Structure 1
Amino acid sequence: MVMNTYNSDEWQGWMRAALNGDAGLYRKLLAAVRPWLLSYFRRRLYGSECEDLVQMTLLSLHEKRHTYDVSAPFMPWIAAIARNKLIDYVRKAGRHVHVELDEAMGVDDGLRPELAARDVQVLLSQLPKDQARVIGLHKLNELSVEETAAATGKSASAVKVIVHRGLKKLQGLVGLKGGTNE
């Protein structure tokens, strides 16, 4: 029976057993992970490429299974593989990806908040330092425009322009329509 939801603890146990040679639990794990992967990709891409990405991710899981740390949670490991396959696919295809801007994003995916925070920092590091600082204060630290202006010595209108241009640049970096890489 294929599961509609994931059970990270159970999957972690199955992965441990698979690494110890239990082929039956390994097949069961692959069958159980498949619907989760399909859902993961369908929430981010439109079209028929989701099934291909599921297959590529399962193949990658198989090829990299020896790298799995049995003391670590399974979900972040498989989610990282899926995320990397998605990024590779989007870059190669030059396609746009659907990115959810929801506070709960990552919780359903089994991703830890620190992974999202790291991704944000990687993106911000691609902006000029002053622009990244203003966006960080206003959007991440949730300072008002006026508070951000006071903290940076800029006018409120300058903060608005810096944030707007920076967010457009970030959209371009992740391949969202309307963004710019300039």
Structure 2
Amino acid sequence: MLAAQDGHGGAYRRLLGEMSEWLTRYFQRRLPPGDVDDAVQETLLAIHRRRHTYDPQYPLGPWLAAIAKNKWVDQLRSLARRPVDELPEHLAVGDHEASVVSSSVLASLLDELRPAQAQAILLVKVQGYSVEEASGQIGLSVSAVKMNIHRGLARLTTIIEKTPDVE
């Protein structure tokens, strides 16, 4: 990374290639197959934009893992906001393990929250309701819904940051 920061194009290309392989494996275990390439590309762009923040006195791995984890959280939020299409009459049986794992991860993360926080995040961030609509459904004030979302997302960030990266 140090050579890449100093402007050596060949070193930078090799580094990005190695990072790309690691990121692909990282996201394959955490996201549906159709979202892996997008997550890798978004992460590589973030690395490119933030490469000046890397301090060579510290290991590269944790820096890379932190950026990857942040992009993973972004992808989970994106997945949660996608509208659900109606299921076709005949479903093709294929490799759906990754999407099941992603849904399971999201559900287990929400289970770690207080019920009001999980419900507010589920309605607003996952199902796409406005804060006002969620307020009416939950029976809390708009400010209470906002507070539950803020505190719940902060708690999720803490949980995810404490989650070890298994290679």
Query: What is the TM-score when the length of structure 2 is the normalising length?
Result: 0.50
Whose helix fraction is larger, Structure 1's or Structure 2's? 2
Q: Which has the higher contact order (CA 8 A, sep 6+)?
A: 2
Larger radius of gyration: 1
